[in-house]
């Protein structure tokens, strides 16, 4: 599983990454993380605002920090 956090590295982006890492650990799954900070790479995804969470090249959320429960659901599915 490849998980990408899209954003410039602000506090919200870092919080999203922290929550996602906690969810991955809770589920005991293997995942590689990538923090995408370059605007030209972020713009390749269909999002309007950051932070954004991308799982296996599918945008799961953008413009807000989802709950850990939401992240757990996305990672299970």
**Active-site annotation, residues:** 10, 13
Pairing of strands 2-6, 52-55: antiparallel
- Helix-strand-coil percent breakdown of the chain, rounded to 5? 40, 25, 35
Number of H helices, E strands in the chain: 3, 4
Q: Which of 71, 54, 70, 52 is nearest to 62 (CA)?
A: 52
């Amino acid at each position: 599983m490849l998980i990408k956090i899209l954003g410039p590295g602000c506090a919200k982006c870092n919080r999203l990454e922290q929550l996602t890492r906690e969810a991955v650990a809770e589920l005991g799954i293997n995942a590689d993380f990538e923090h995408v900070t370059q605007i030209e790479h972020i713009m390749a995804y269909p999002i309007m605002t950051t932070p954004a969470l991308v799982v296996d090249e599918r945008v799961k959320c953008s413009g807000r920090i989802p709950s850990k429960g939401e992240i757990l659901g996305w990672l299970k599915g």
